[in-house]
Structure 1
Amino acid sequence: MNITAIILARNEEAHIEDCIKSIQCADEILVIDDSSTDKTAILATDLGAKVINHALDNDWSQQRRFGISQANGDWVLFIDADERISPELNREIKHVIQRDELKAYWLRRYNIFHHNKASHGSMRPDKVLRFMPKNGASVEGFVHETFVSPYPQDILSGKLFHYTYDNWTQYFNKFNRYTSAAALKYYEAGKTCSFWKDIVLRPQWAFFKVYILQKGFLDGKIGFILSLYHYIYTVTKYVKLYYLHKSNGQL
């Protein structure tokens, strides 16, 4: 049994080296590059990764499915360029493929900032289904993908580290892409938008949920800021949907 690690990338020269170096459990590292204009492809190739250029077209699921189709391994491990595999998780992944059983595994993901600490609210640790046999593996969805496997599921205990954002410019660039993609997805699915329910009331609930119920307040100033931006994210997503219905997105 061997493993292919699949990384989606576009202009990730700040992250790609550390990401690849952290993957010690894979026999093949496959970088699906969306026409990067920086040194992403060169740095990845120098570290022994196989780089294939393929257009993302704002569809992360099809990009990951393309990666699966190019993988030579019996198992696939999905990792983003801003994520790192801990030594403990590397050892655990190597161990589980030696067992005579096929399962899809959830990984425990922990968010990390360069100069801040946040582990509640929208930054609380979560689990992601990222390691599975290649046979039958697929990815569905448009903005937030869903990883699919026909096999029974289990959870690994080793940590997957996620370096969230380098700066606020990066945060808001992603913010804009994701709110636009989410609004378009809702629109194409025929989802309606109520001004009072979705634009006025729903964002208030979103803030209350992450700041109070999910204890974002325990993270101090950064916890408040991230909870506030979660409120604004919700507003923005539904405002874009509202105007797609009202005037095809035009003001």
Structure 2
Amino acid sequence: MVNVSVVILTKNEEANIVDVIENAKQVTSHVLIVDSGSTDKTVDLAEAHGAKVVYRAWDNDFAAQRNFALEHVTTEWVLYLDADERLNKELCKSVERAVATSVDKQYVIKRKSVAFGKEFNYGVLKPDFVPRLFKESHVQWVNKVHERPECGDEKVVLDGFIKHYTYSGWSQWLKKFEQYTTIWAEDAYLRGKRTSLSTAFGHAFFAFIQMIILKKGILDGGMGLVMSCNHFFYTLIKYLKLLELQRKGE
């Protein structure tokens, strides 16, 4: 096995945890779970399948969870994988080759999304490219939600892809919607960002046009339209929550 740790953030992921650990073990024996307080069987199942589990209390900060993981990584390289993501075989081989070179680079991975039983090719859930493989000492994460890595190494795209099994149902979508919009609004407010009702609608309208036309969401058919409408609502609500915080702070 190669000199890399696969880091997975969890909270109540018993439905995914066994599959994602077994998938990660196709690359390495070093699988690190950062759990934020699961109340189901996530931790027990993770340990039973050979993963190391560490705990950090959830404080609405995804970047902090990812940075905390770095304190427990004992390998030269770190690969971040979400509980609902899976590496395909070609990507596993690409990771092994990349880590074997030991050069100072960060590696970007293509990600394909499956939601509500459908694979998306356009719009909100179109395939994207995400930096996920780094030298452990070369990366730090920023932003509480929609977090991103900061790494000065040259970016290289790996062969293969991640399959992202997001949103198995609408209750899950609504739960993430509530969580992400709240975190975004609170973080934006603390950073001094301010808005207005007209600005909120303006951002939401542009978000819809961007997804349905500029990113061709309409080509995903009815679900493409639904997801573009959802993106309008998501954008509107996060700005309305920011406006609510403003008014409370006046």
1:143-162 Cα shifts (integer Å, max 9, x gaps): 11111223222111210111
- Matched with 1:217 is 218
Separation in structure 2 between the aligned mates of residue 88 and residue 114 of structure 1, nearest angstrom:
25
SS of the aligned residue for 1:190 comes to coil
1:87 and 1:20, CA in 2 relative to 1: closer, same or farther beyond 3 A? Answer: same
2:182 alignment partner, one of 180, 183, 186: 180
Would you say the 8 A contact 1:83–1:160 is kept in 2? yes
Match of 2:167 in 1: 165
Matches within 5 A, 1:104-123: 104-113=106-115, 115-123=117-125
Quote how far apart the aligned CAs of 1:248 are: 4.3
Which amino acid is the alignment partner of residue 146 of structure 1?
Answer: R
Secondary structure in structure 2 of the residue aligned to 1:70:
coil
Q: Distance in 2 between matches of 1:26 and 1:56?
A: 27
Alignment equivalent of 2:56, drawn from 50, 54, 57: 54
Task: Provide the rounded CA distance (Å) in 1 between the counterparts of 2:82 and 2:206.
Answer: 30
User: Which whole-Å deviations, capped at 9, do the CAs of 1:57-103 have from their partners, x for residues lacking one?
Assistant: 11111111110110111100001101111111001100112225221
In structure 2, the partner of 1:234 is 235
Question: Aligned-residue CA RMSD in angstroms?
Answer: 1.4
After superposition, residues 1-251 of structure 1 pair within 5 angstroms as: 2-23=3-24, 24-113=26-115, 115-196=117-198, 198-248=199-249
User: Identity over aligned residues, as a percent?
Assistant: 35
Displacement of 1:223 in angstroms is: 0.7
- Work out the number of aligned pairs and report it: 248
SS in 1 for 2:34: strand
Structure 1 regions of 5+ residues with no counterpart? none
Q: 1:199 Cα deviation (Å)?
A: 2.2
User: Shift in Å at residue 33 of structure 1?
Assistant: 0.6
Stretches of structure 2 lacking an aligned partner (at least 5 in a row) = none
Task: Indicate the SS of the match to 2:113.
Answer: strand
Change (3 A) 1:21 1:209: same
Is the deviation greater in 148-157 or in 46-55? Answer: 148-157
CA contact (8 A) 1:117 1:219 kept: no
CA distance in 1, matches of 2:74, 2:12: 25
Separation in structure 1 between the aligned mates of residue 56 and residue 109 of structure 2, nearest angstrom:
27
- CA shift for structure 1 position 114: 5.1
Superposition TM-score, scaled by structure 2 size? 0.95
Distance in 2 of aligned mates of 1:186 and 1:97: 37
Which has the larger displacement, 110-119 or 124-133?
110-119
| 1:186, distance to aligned residue in structure 2 (A) | 1.1
Q: State the distance in 1 between where 2:133 and 2:218 align.
A: 33
- After TM superposition, the runs of 4+ consecutive aligned structure 1 residues lying more than 6 A away are none
Contact 2:120 2:127 in 1 (8 A): no
Conserved in 1, the CA contact under 8 Å of 2:181 and 2:234?
A: yes
Cα distance in 2, alignment partners of residues 219 and 156 from structure 1: 26
State whether residues 86 and 163 of structure 2, in contact with CA within 8 Å, keep that contact through their aligned partners in structure 1: yes
Separation in structure 1 between the aligned mates of residue 3 and residue 220 of structure 2, nearest angstrom = 41
